[in-house]
Amino acid sequence: MDSNPTPQPRYAVVAQALTTDIVEGRHGIGAMLPTEGELSRAFGVSRSTVREALRRLGEQGLVAAAHGVGTRVIADRPRSEYRLAAGSVADVMGYAGPVCLDVASRQEVQASQGLAARLGCEAGTQWWHVGGVRRTHRGGPAFACVDLFIAAEFADVATGEALLSTPAYRLIGESRGLQITEIKQEITAISLDAAQAGLLGGTPGQPGLHIRRRFYAADGRLVEATLNVHGDADCFTYALRLGGFNG
């Protein structure tokens, strides 16, 4: 009797109907959806089925439920989300294998106007600056010039030896139980200056990649900024793979 060869689950029917209502504006952003009980009666399905449908809408970022209050529309189009494939901060770095840091200098600095602009912090704040190069292994060729700036309160991280083999953001996270919740990254093309070319084994004026990354804690504080300079394609490629998610 069922002419549908592969009938959709009932929760999918409910979810589709609600999604259409939201996308077409019948439930505007900020509006409360009918309660789960009302939807259950309206669609003639159990409350569990309604909840399964609402769960899908929630995963797509369309609605958010508040305990004791109701379910509110928070967006009018499903988000199509892409996530870093392997799912860790390391992927943002674009390093495939292990890397080690050769430190050339460490010193505490106060952010001048110019440095503050480069870091994206406020002028006058205190930072530990660690300068050096990155190599794939000790003694190998350098593939990046690195300037780390670590918030002064994490002086132990900046001055410790663990920094040579472990990314600073991870040391900060592990030793202090502090969670990095946001990363901003900017990539631009530059010409290598004489010092950079010397460190990377290239020639001055040759093209390079400049990558700035800023790491923010949950409370919005900038805890680390890194300024990296890489050589051209022969030396470094920044690769990022994004996997699709609930389309």
Partner DNA sequence: GAGTGGTCTAGACCACACA
Partner DNA sequence: GTGTGGTCTAGACCACTCT
Q: Which residues of the chain form contacts with DNA (CB under 7 A)?
A: 6-7, 9-12, 33, 35-38, 44-49, 51-52, 65-71
Comparison of 12 and 155: residue with beta carbon closer to a second copy: 12
Non-local CB neighbours of 219 within 8 Å, separated by 6+ positions: none
Cβ at position 95, least distance to DNA in Å: 35
Binding test (CB under 8 A) with a second copy, winner from 46, 80, 110, 175: 80
Question: Which partner from the list DNA, a second copy, none does 52 bind, CB cut-off 5 to 8 Å by kind?
Answer: DNA
Number of residues forming the site for a second copy (CB under 8 A): 47
DSSP class of residue 204 equals T
Q: Is 179 in the site for a second copy (CB under 8 A)?
A: yes
Non-local CB neighbours of 240 within 8 Å, separated by 6+ positions: 84, 91, 92, 94
Q: Is 153 in the site for a second copy (CB under 8 A)?
A: no
Question: Which partner from the list DNA, a second copy, none does 129 bind, CB cut-off 5 to 8 Å by kind?
Answer: none
Binding test (CB under 8 A) with a second copy, winner from 12, 185, 198, 227: 185
Question: Which partner from the list a second copy, DNA, none does 85 bind, CB cut-off 5 to 8 Å by kind?
Answer: a second copy
The site string for a second copy over 25-64 (x = CB under 8 A, - otherwise) reads ------------------------------------x---
Give the whole-angstrom CA distance, residue 232 versus residue 145: 13
Comparison of 103 and 232: residue with beta carbon closer to a second copy: 232
Residue with tokens 């912090």, as numbered in its chain: 121
Question: Which partner from the list DNA, a second copy, none does 71 bind, CB cut-off 5 to 8 Å by kind?
Answer: DNA
The DSSP code sequence of 41-90 is: HHHTS-HHHHHHHHHHHHHTTSEEEETTTEEEE--SS---EEEESS-SHH
Q: Are 62 and 19 in contact (CB under 8 A)?
A: yes
Give the whole-angstrom CA distance, residue 197 versus residue 213: 21
Comparison of 7 and 120: residue with beta carbon closer to DNA: 7
Residues 53, 54, 59, CA angle at the centre, nearest 5°?
100
Residue with tokens 């690769």, as numbered in its chain: 239
Give the whole-angstrom CA distance, residue 154 versus residue 175: 10
Q: Is 183 in the site for a second copy (CB under 8 A)?
A: yes
Cβ at position 49, least distance to DNA in Å: 3
Applying CB under 8 A, the residues found at the interface with a second copy are 61, 79-85, 87-89, 91-92, 179-191, 205-210, 218, 230-233, 236-244, 247
